[in-house]
Amino acid sequence: MRLIVGPPASGRTGLLQERAAEALGARKRVWWLCLPHQRSYVYRRMAGAGAVLGLEVLSFQQAYYRLLAASYGLRPILTGPARVALVGEALRSEAQGLPNPGEARLFARAVAEAKRYGVRPDHLPALDLESQRFKRVFGRYEELKASWGRWDYDDFRDAAVQLVEAARFEPPADVVIVDGFRELLPLVLRFLKGLGQVVEVWAALPEAPPGHAPLEVLPPAAGACRTEVFRAPNPVAEARWVLRSLKRDLAQGMRPTEVAVVAPESRLPALMTLADEYGVPLVDYTPRTAADTPEGRLLLDLLELPDYPTPTRLLAIPDLAPLGRAALDAGLAGLAPVQRLAQQMGLQAQLSAWLERLEPAGDPEAWARTLMDSIPEVRAGPRRDLLLERAKEAGRIAYGPDFRRWWAALLTETYEPVRPPGGVPLLTPTLASGVRFSKLYLTYAVEGAYGAGEREDYFIPEEERLALEALYARAGLPRRFLGRDPLILRELATRAPCVTITYPEADQSGPLEPEPVLIPDPRRLPRIPDLPTASRLEVPGDGLYRPPDGPVRLGPATVEDLRRYDECGFKFWVERVAGGPREEVSGWRALVRELRALKRLNEARLEALAQRFPEAEGWLRAHQELLFALNLGFAWPENATPQARVDGALNRGGEYNFYTFAPPDTDDPTAFLRGRWGELWLAGYLLKHNPRQVKSVRLWVWPVLGSPLPVYDKPISQITGPIQWRNEKVRATLERYQRGEVKPNPGFICRECQVRDVCREGKVG
């Protein structure tokens, strides 16, 4: 095996490309081994000089299959989800109880790591109860797998290593090239050295493994990469600038496959959402599971519905779609709230029927077939057999409600083949390894965003693991903390001749620090430069809304109006003054609105309310004495701004009692009132302006269908600090309100804002 070592962008791939071209020119067969996501890149690069015949780009797993198939040494494969299921079966037999899927995943990943380094159950240290338990589960897993007559992915590698080391195989190719890896594990090196006995093997790495001398060491290429770094005020401004710049590159003639965007996995959805607005053909290359397919997502919603109903899961069932829409409007989720809502809407029978239908009965596999055949999208989908296979694996472990949970968990473990369409690749750091572009945008380069994710293992502590020198000499588990982050960051910064690095200075949680390896001195970095408009929403005019330049007359306001105005003046103006979207009032809110409008309640009005809201009849009659005494919809001071309104008021000899209706499940009155201004402001106003008539004020929060809850242990008899702070807040907000300011206030409120498309989070127009 000929080993070439050099830092990223030192010309390793170009040198291997020349070796491959020489072999192909001599009519030799060439295997190029790389990571699966690098396959199309290698073919594009090799075909850049013309057609190539005799080249096959494979992953190591494919190479193992090919060698073993030629030697008639294959067995049926145990897939990743099946491994989790088999580990779950081993856990059940070891603990005499049903494990949960998360526990099985933990053990399955530990088994995979051990086998990846050639460690068998009897080689593991038994340090404590958990490590001893892991040894037993690992051994039991191997026994169950043998009874199945299958091999997992690691067994294929082990068999291929034994095959090549014994030199009992026909040469699959004349030249084998290995590229695109940051490191090669000991078993992989044994495989390559075994191949090297009969074929020519070339490998390229950033650093030589311990005990392996490189044939050639390449120096860093001077001027191979030009880097420019910009800072953005926040992540939204950064993402918009990157897409604007990307659209400019495409307009200037760059092909989509020549440019790429790298971002942490958590930032990918935001970039994909903005890509539609900017018309940029951004393509997410991250792997997908069966749960991300249309039929898999639908099946997963049904399996999880009985445990935790959500509006999305209810909308997946046509019979329960009205209930799902009502739950979405009311912001409800969970079994008990949804059942109460279904009872109010008269859909209790339909909901109960579906909940009963989604509980497995009898043979789990037969029940799974019935459920899948009852869903047209799943029954006619191309993945029906795959989804049923996961059900069979879950049926070996669990039954009843646990069968549903295991089936759902195995669906999320079933990865789909990645065949992204053409477009600009949106990559994670892992997917960017071993691939180069003409231009690269490295976004969100803040400290800790990119790294190897090194962390200690649950079963085997760090001090019981081997250093690299010992690891490559004998079988064992490697140390977890090897400081790989700088290597990954240096590689990312060399993925193109021109790399643009951006980072936001702050987000909603506070200031952010740039990654020191990528940005060693951020003090004099330029801000993102201005670029031409790239979205229709950024174009002035063209029928798009623009707010008035001068102040706006907002009219009279209550104290709660001022609170909503203080959250975002622009949102308040659009919704309340310009006739923006309004929420449809239903359920308990509709009852409260009726009570406020009545002002006073009597027998006749109570009877009418009981007929209109039958679910609240018992509550109304149980509290009718207090309800009859209340001044409902109380507002004070009259004909003034601001004006405070409470749902009910009662004067008992100078002690004023103010009642605020709340959702039925409210159990913390202090937390509920913390998000409101009106009650405390009104208490302070009355104590200050009517000291003779008002001796004290008592505040109550009254959950609908429940009993009133006192907010404080004793009445308010003097103006305290919280009241003074609230009064000052109202006064300052009222001044801005009367000036007519309607400026946006971007932040968390934007996530659920109904006028977000008009405002664009503070960037109006």
The whole model's pTM is what? 0.69
* 8 Å CB contact between 315 and 280: no
Same domain, 340 and 191: no
* 8 Å CB contact between 475 and 117: yes
**Within a domain: 205:** yes
Same domain, 126 and 178: no
Q: What is the DSSP string of 97-111?
A: SPPPHHHHHHHHHHH
pLDDT for position 114 = 95
**Within a domain: 265:** yes
Domain end marker among 133, 150, 167: 150
Distance CA 203, CA 456 (A): 30
Same domain, 432 and 379: no
> Number of C-alpha atoms within 13 angstroms, CB side, residue 16?
31
Same domain, 667 and 739: yes
pLDDT for position 207 = 93
Same domain, 48 and 64: yes
Same domain, 497 and 443: yes
Distance CA 167, CA 196 (A): 10
> Number of C-alpha atoms within 13 angstroms, CB side, residue 591?
23
- What's 168's DSSP letter? -
CATH number for the domain that contains residue 58? 3.40.50.300
pLDDT for position 97 = 79
Q: Which of 265, 232, 316 is nearest to 531 (CA)?
A: 232
The ranges of the chain with pLDDT < 50 are 543-545, 581, 763-765
**Within a domain: 184:** yes
**Within a domain: 658:** yes
Determine the structural domain holding residue 454 and report its residue range. Answer: 226-287+422-511
Distance CA 622, CA 702 (A): 14
* 8 Å CB contact between 711 and 700: yes
**Within a domain: 711:** yes
Unique residue bearing structure tokens 């609908």: 704
Q: Which residues, other chains included, contact 540 with Cβ-Cβ below 8 Å and sequence gap of 6+? A: 546, 765
Is it true that the peptide bond before 642 is cis, omega within 30 degrees of 0?
yes
* 8 Å CB contact between 653 and 715: no
**Within a domain: 719:** yes
Same domain, 93 and 121: yes
Same domain, 495 and 375: no
Unique residue bearing structure tokens 């242990």: 713
* 8 Å CB contact between 341 and 310: no
- What's 528's DSSP letter? P
Same domain, 408 and 436: no
pLDDT for position 163 = 94
**Within a domain: 682:** yes
CATH number for the domain that contains residue 759? 3.90.320
Domain end marker among 346, 377, 412: 412
Domain end marker among 459, 492, 511: 511
**Within a domain: 278:** yes
Q: How many domains does the chain have?
A: 5
Same domain, 747 and 605: yes
pLDDT for position 465 = 93
Same domain, 712 and 625: yes
The radius of gyration of the chain from alpha carbons, rounded to an integer in Å, stands at: 33
Same domain, 260 and 319: no
* 8 Å CB contact between 104 and 93: no
